[in-house]
Structure 1
Amino acid sequence: MLKDMIKKVSGLFICMIIVFSMTSIYTLAESNDDNRITILTYNIAGLPALLSSADPEKNTKRIGELINNFDIVAVQEDFAYHDDLLSKSQFPYVTDHPGNVPFGSGLNVLSNYPIKESINIPWDMTHGNITCPPPGYHGADEMTPKGFSYQRIELEPGVIVDLYNLHADAGGDEGSREARHDNFIQLAEYINNHSSGNAIILLGDTNAFYTRECDNLYENLTTECGLTDPWIEFVRNGEVPEFRDYHDTMEDLNEDLSGPNYETIDKIMYRSSDIVTFDFVDYKIEEEMFIDENGDRLSDHYATSITIDYSLSDNIKLSSTFGGTAGDPFNFIEYMPAKPSKVSIRTGDRVDSVEIQYGDISAQAGGNGGDYDEIILDEDEYIVKVKICKDKRWYWKQKQIYYIKIETNKGKVLSGGTKSDEEMTIEAPEGWQIAGFYGKANAEICQLGGIFIPQ
């Protein structure tokens, strides 16, 4: 942890509370393994060896081997030994390494499922560097661009989950507490703006306890974003821990760690959507897995894992998306299962906007540029196919949607923009229709996918 780095750099040692985690497990009913996901969060203490709280030169390869037991893994403090981690891991999808200290965030995701998009966002507020007294107490969070990352994980074609991996500000001084409080507010605002209507998995090193009023984690993040923390909902039967003195946390190692009275800062939460429903199966603090031949921990943190099953809606489905990663997310799913009565587009050289009328309500994405065109749908008419092309204006720009062609079951066609060699066709499965869109947009459409409902 960065606070340990400062202790070594400065040579000054102060009394600190050290977070320990032991094995804690809670299990619910069996379910279909085909739709079962095992998820792990792990602060792997990957600072350069001189600065790390563990022994990353020795342990990182072993960590890389052991994380293969899970489907989705989020790591924090993955700085100097990322290549060692990958040398033993076998995941087909891994986020680009953001770099070593002092340039990288230390956040990476390894997945058995495709990672469709990945963004790193630094915190607006951090606190602590080697000049801040007392050394080691504030966490030295200004020395790396800590923050959170956002990935879009595709569980199966058209089944997208938004994943957030975070490492919050460390330390117990006033500046660190204020920064950490602000971290959770910033993250919640981002989630509410970018993941509206989407299923979510959130995990990472929060450096926070529900018992600390200064963090106010449950209100600022968990409930603000509609997340489920399985430790609260299933281990504690929905009982949120009461606020206590800052240093009086639920980490008493004499407690029964399989029970409800042990809290870790390394948390995993999730949220279902209209498309994807998550069902809790298992929660565990991995005390016994991540140890060396002598029984010592591989990091100064224990890893936390959960197992969940997912099921899909019988009434709404999604296509894959196509395009670039720029723009702000939009989603017409809140209008489902309403039937479209009109569809319109604005196009010029590119696709400026798409809009669908649902009775008296209109859903629109994009800007007001380009030429307007529309088709009115008959009572028994619906969209069956949408062809889209993507391109970019300059080589350093993100790709976006350049062309769109919308076809109905009665042969009506609405099209505009500029065709390119990169194209995708969204076609409704038999018995279904395209009733809406989702994707990303700014003044133009950057990314587009289709929403299906039964005919």
Structure 2
Amino acid sequence: MAPLSKIFAVLAASFITLAIADQAPPVPTKGDFNVLTMNVGGISGAIDKDGVPEDQTNAKTIGKLFSSLGYKIINMQEDFHYNDNIYANVKYLFKSVPAPEVPNSDGLNTISAFTPNAFERVKWNKCSQASEFDCDTANGFTIMRAQIATGVFVDVYNLRADAGVKEEDKVARASNFDDLATYIDVMSAGNPVIILGDTSSLYTRQGDNPTIFVTRNGMRDAFVELHLNGVNPTVEKACKNPSVVQDCETTDKVFYRGSRQLQLEATYFNYESPKFISASGGVLSDHNPITVNFTWSVSALFQQSDLFGNPSGQWFNDLTSLPDSPKVETLTFRSGSELDQVRIGYVGGKELTHGGLGGGEKSMFLGNDEFWISARICQGGSGDQIKIYYLLATTSKGYTLAGGVESGQCVTYEPPSGWQIVGYMGRNTTEVTQLGFIYAPI
């Protein structure tokens, strides 16, 4: 896997939040959305093993169907040579900028009706040429941090794992899965996550390990959950294309999990290939596209603000460490002309720290009947150099603690009535580059 410092550097400045007006507080809410994963087989001049021509006409049809069928998030794999034809017919809020063409392309692209806070590409650490030409492209995975609603984020991963059934392929594929599972542990800590893409793996194939995302990352397989009563298949049942049954297994999979802040449930899983038919009556890809519907609801224990600042650096989320009923006892900021570090202490002695060691230190003690109820935050700089310049904390008794210099674009976050600020989420390097706030009932 590429070094984390290099991964963070690919973030585009267009994903940096530049909110200026104060934001209304998030409130407990719920909703639903659907996703689609489709290997579009976009290799110029190729005819795949099922006899499906991979050409501009099919690509244009795929793009039209994406828009007309109304999926909220779409992950594509093998989107190499005909992306322009797909995108020409797609009308969505967000369309990922394709990577350069083969051999530098990963063929992974995402279309979304939701605003992304960040979009990143990561290359696999290992590949195999034993069965196919996986080392001839920059295969890997992507992550989009999708903002579903105010204070509601879901990390959506796309992947295309090393293909083939020879031993070298399986070793490379296991390494791919380990890359992704490790990345999720670090960069999606505390967050809801959806993985949808081409895993190139089957539960029934000896040596494959798609269960790693269940055992290591606490996820569920929507197909196994909704069509196999939660039991992984042990006897292979291959899918036809188009598939008219739902209990067969393909290498395209959808894993998901919620968080302490967001309950996420898969309610519907369907092979969509009967909808993706060409004018001549043929399928548009040798893979069955998959859709999953999700419902979501905000927890009664925790809520979140939006994220503010630059999505670069190490991700952190205090939800991984907070007790169910936290009480803030101390706030500490390190700062000079910008916010270098935030530290929060709780009744019972636990402390959580994010950022570096620059600047001077200021602290504030909160009494037993005093709570943190407002945070004003400012960001400055430009492009991928934007960072947090200022943070002002105000308590229920009117006391304040400030760090940094109030300048640039600013926003104030306040929890709903009867709630308090109890923690942070965001990104840091040797300073704080992005911040959001975690709320809990008083």
Provide TM-score, normalisation by structure 2: 0.87
2:34–2:292 CA contact under 8 A, matched in 1: yes
| Counterpart AA for 1:226 | G
* 1:216-254 CA-partner distances (Å, limit 9, x unpaired): 221x22321111102112211111123x7xxxx431649
Distance 2:188 2:284 in 1: 34
1:354 matched to which residue of 2? 342
The alpha-carbon deviation at position 396 of structure 1 amounts to 6.8
46, 70, 83: which one aligns with 2:42:
46
258, 263, 287: which one aligns with 1:301:
287
1:429 paired with 2:406, answer no
1:47–1:101 CA contact under 8 A, matched in 2: no
Larger radius of gyration: 1
1:411 matched to which residue of 2? 398
Distance 1:110 1:97 in 2: 11
Distance 2:205 2:167 in 1: 13
Distance 1:381 1:292 in 2: 64
CA distance 1:81–1:259, shift in 2 (3 Å): closer
1:251–1:264 CA contact under 8 A, matched in 2: yes
372, 375, 379: which one aligns with 1:386:
375
| Counterpart AA for 1:100 | E
Distance 1:158 1:199 in 2: 12
**Across the two proteins, how many residue pairs are aligned to each other?**
406
Which aligned runs of 4 or more in structure 1 are off by greater than 4 angstroms?
50-53
Question: Is the partner of 2:173 in helix, strand or coil?
Answer: helix
2:218 matched to which residue of 1? 226
* 1:316-352 CA-partner distances (Å, limit 9, x unpaired): 1110011112111111123143010111111122211
Distance 1:90 1:376 in 2: 51
1:11 matched to which residue of 2? none
2:190–2:318 CA contact under 8 A, matched in 1: no
Distance 1:159 1:204 in 2: 22
Across the aligned residues of Structure 1 and Structure 2, the Cα RMSD in angstroms comes to 2.1
| Counterpart AA for 1:231 | F
1:377 matched to which residue of 2? 366
| Counterpart AA for 1:61 | K
Question: Is the partner of 1:109 in helix, strand or coil?
Answer: strand
2:310–2:384 CA contact under 8 A, matched in 1: no
2:23 matched to which residue of 1? none
The alpha-carbon deviation at position 113 of structure 1 amounts to 1.1
Distance 1:450 1:371 in 2: 23
The alpha-carbon deviation at position 195 of structure 1 amounts to 1.1
Distance 1:80 1:253 in 2: 26
2:183 matched to which residue of 1? 190
Map 1:99-118 onto structure 2 (within 5 A). 99-118=100-119
CA distance 1:58–1:253, shift in 2 (3 Å): closer
Question: Is the partner of 2:267 in helix, strand or coil?
Answer: strand
150, 153, 156: which one aligns with 2:143:
150
1:42–1:303 CA contact under 8 A, matched in 2: yes
1:399 matched to which residue of 2? 386
The alpha-carbon deviation at position 432 of structure 1 amounts to 2.0
1:314 paired with 2:300, answer yes
| Counterpart AA for 1:373 | K
1:168–1:183 CA contact under 8 A, matched in 2: yes
* 1:91-135 CA-partner distances (Å, limit 9, x unpaired): 11122222322222111111111111000000000122xxxxxxx
2:4 matched to which residue of 1? none
1:439–1:446 CA contact under 8 A, matched in 2: yes
Question: Is the partner of 2:344 in helix, strand or coil?
Answer: strand
Question: Is the partner of 1:46 in helix, strand or coil?
Answer: coil
1:331 paired with 2:317, answer yes
2:307–2:436 CA contact under 8 A, matched in 1: yes
2:246–2:271 CA contact under 8 A, matched in 1: no
The alpha-carbon deviation at position 65 of structure 1 amounts to 1.2
Identity of matched residues, % = 33
Distance 2:388 2:110 in 1: 28
1:58 matched to which residue of 2? 57
2:124–2:176 CA contact under 8 A, matched in 1: yes
For structure 2, list consecutive stretches of 5 or more residues without a partner in the other structure: 1-28
For structure 1, list consecutive stretches of 5 or more residues without a partner in the other structure: 1-32, 129-136
1:164 paired with 2:157, answer yes
2:332–2:342 CA contact under 8 A, matched in 1: yes
CA distance 1:321–1:281, shift in 2 (3 Å): same
| Counterpart AA for 1:71 | K
CA distance 1:51–1:146, shift in 2 (3 Å): farther
Distance 2:174 2:408 in 1: 48
2:199 matched to which residue of 1? 206
1:263 matched to which residue of 2? 249
Distance 2:170 2:119 in 1: 28
Distance 1:165 1:174 in 2: 24
Question: Is the partner of 1:35 in helix, strand or coil?
Answer: strand
1:96 paired with 2:97, answer yes
2:226–2:268 CA contact under 8 A, matched in 1: no
The alpha-carbon deviation at position 259 of structure 1 amounts to 5.2
